[in-house]
Amino acid sequence: MASSSGSRLFAGFLVVLFSCGLYANGCYLSIISFGDSIADTGNQKHLALISDDVIFICGPPYGQNFIGQSTGRCSNGRLIIDFLAESLGLPLIPPYFNGKGSSGVGRQGVNYAVVGATALDASFMEAKWSERSVINASIKIQLAWFKESVSSICGNASDCRNFIGRSLILMGEIGGNDYNYPLSVGQPIDEIEPIVPLVIDAIISTINELIVMGARTLVVPGNFPLGCLPRILTIYGSDNEEYDPITGCMTKFNKFAEYHNKMLQTKLDHIRERNPNVTLIYADYYNALMQIYRSPYEYGFTNDKILKACCGCGGPFNFNVSMQCGELCKTVCDEPDTYLSWDGIHLTEIAYKLIFKSLFQGPYTIPEFSPLCPASSQTEVGLSSYI
């Protein structure tokens, strides 16, 4: 008969064995994602199948490097969220909506991001800018989808709180489309600036609600440098504009993105002060991408391609407002990996991979991201719920 000390040793071995399996690739059991086309892994594609009000945007040639098919991702291949899931040993995170219009959710992750989604409600955007093409999938609506579906993932309230606490919450990117909609029709940047506090408040409100639900680790991205996008360079470019002499990007649009990012970081600091047990990570999308624009050769790019789109139908930046990459324009460059921009708006797979490495394996998160469990998660969330 085994001694009591031997039994305790064996029991301890089982705990260690189980823990090693659980933490083999880090703390997080799943990724819960919100946002827009930067993170959408297929929601907009599936919504277009069940709603006459939604037009599928990112069909072929989008996704040409993703197992040879269009997945609904607005790139030629994988996104930041895909590289993040792979690094954590998780499957690629499925979209909330499947092809039949029902929810398809799983314990290892679910994605509520939708192409074209905004932080502010669609009704506000339509009234503000007379823009009728805003998809009704704001961050508030995505949060409502999550609240409606979470019990089907994890069961009762206690188990769901544990599940949320052990998930990595990815908050976008979200907010970029609140500016992209008016920018796409030529609105002056100084007329868009007043809505920045409203956009930030919508993001912060959602974060606070998720914390109340049990979220313990959230990644909150800032905006990309708008002034480097081929679309912005095409729509607003002129001899009267100021350009960065090093990158060729438009200065005032990048300053606008920096303004958004600075305000967001200030609000995140306030949340940290009130919630010391929550790990709130700012993902510096802006500088993770700007480092490549500033030193393209270091990353395998050349100056003649760094500001041009791979998929496009002409113009100085290979972006045509009236004929963009998609059904009517399927002209794709021979080597997508030599371009940062895929379609003048979204980035290529290689760009997203480089940004992922800078964020989640590099210095461009505040605080620096770690795949290991934050102390609060280890102490507050027990293992019994997952055995």
Which of the residues are catalytic? 37, 343, 346
**Phi and psi at residue 146, to the nearest 5°:** -65, -45
The answer to whether the peptide bond before residue 276 is cis (omega within 30 degrees of 0) is: no
d(CA 35, CA 257): 17
d(CA 120, CA 158): 31
In 193-334, where does DSSP find H-type helix? 196-213, 230-236, 251-274, 285-294
Reduced to 3 DSSP states, what percent helix, strand and coil does the chain have, rounded to the nearest 5? 45, 10, 45
d(CA 347, CA 339): 8
Q: 47 CB contacts (<8 Å, ≥6 apart)?
A: 54, 97, 114, 137
- Cβ neighbours, 10 Å, residue 92: 20
C-beta of residue 81 within 8 angstroms of C-beta of residue 170: yes
Specify burial of residue 58 (Cβ count, 10 A radius: 0-12, 13-18, 19+). Answer: buried
Query: Which of 317, 219, 338, 313 shows the shortest CA–CA distance to 268?
Result: 219
The two tokens of residue 36 are: 């827009």
d(CA 99, CA 110): 15
Give, in degrees to the nearest 5, the angle at Cα 305 between 303 and 308: 125
Query: Which of 83, 68, 114, 90 shows the shortest CA–CA distance to 351?
Result: 83
